[in-house]
Structure 1
Amino acid sequence: MHPLPSTPLTLGEIQSYVADMEKARGFTDSTILEQTLKLAEETGEVCKAVRKHIALSIDPSSTTGTLGDELADVLIYLAAIANRAGIDLADALREKEKINETRVWT
């Protein structure tokens, strides 16, 4: 597995990295359901990290990482789910934005 470059990454590069990382770490047996449940857990950790980030009270024994750490975990699980479903996230974003551009936002 190659280290992540220090330059900006495309969604495709992130998905490719996550696929390689999962192979290298032995995570390829996790099902899409397992990855989705882990994503949900991580989104809760993002909420706790936001509380921590803006100095709201949290459990002092919490092991929640920084907001950046938790957002990175969400991105990893998101890419893992997309990979398992055969979804190119960049294409999915483009297609969804075509729909969103036709909506009226209030």
Structure 2
Amino acid sequence: MDLKQIQKRIFENKLTKGFNIDNVEKEFCFLMGEVSEAFDAYNKKQGTLGSELADIAIYLLGLSEMLGINLSEEIQKKILVNENREYVKVHGANVKK
């Protein structure tokens, strides 16, 4: 199954189960909450990190479908941009040139 199919499947599950499908702001908040939960699982060395990362992906893909964005295409385009971008080190971190 490709990413676009997964994106559609996630959205269909949201519809079927009665989850949010139209409040984009709320969905961003839920996504941020999942990122926080993943960090917490990592920080506390819990065995749930993989599941929390999956939740992040699910919320991100669901949000992409809500917004009509083919995330697979966008990721592929962004990978090309990043591969061709030059970076410089500033205070130990890579920054766009």
Give me the TM-score of the superposition, normalised by structure 1. 0.74
Root mean square deviation of aligned Cα: 1.8
| Structure 1 portions without partners, runs of 5+ | 1-8, 56-64
Alignment pair present for 1:43 and 2:35: yes
Residue 97 (str. 1) matches residue 89 (str. 2): no
Structure 2 matches for 1:69-88, cutoff 5 A? Answer: 69-88=51-70
Q: 1:91 to 1:29 in 2, by over 3 A?
A: closer
Q: Which secondary structure state, in structure 1, belongs to the residue aligned with residue 85 of structure 2? A: coil
Deviation, 1:29, is: 4.1
Q: Which has the higher strand share?
A: 2
Aligned-pair identity (%) = 32
Q: Report whether the alignment pairs 1:31 with 2:5.
A: no
CA apart distance, 1:52: 2.6
Question: SS at the partner of 1:69?
Answer: helix
Q: 1:17 aligns with which of 9, 18, 25?
A: 9
In 2, Cα distance between equivalents of 1:52 and 1:16: 33
Q: Pick 1 or 2: higher relative contact order, CA cutoff 8 A, min separation 6.
A: 1
Aligned residues: 88
> Match of 1:4?
none
Stretches of structure 2 lacking an aligned partner (at least 5 in a row): 89-97
TM-score, with structure 2 as normaliser: 0.80
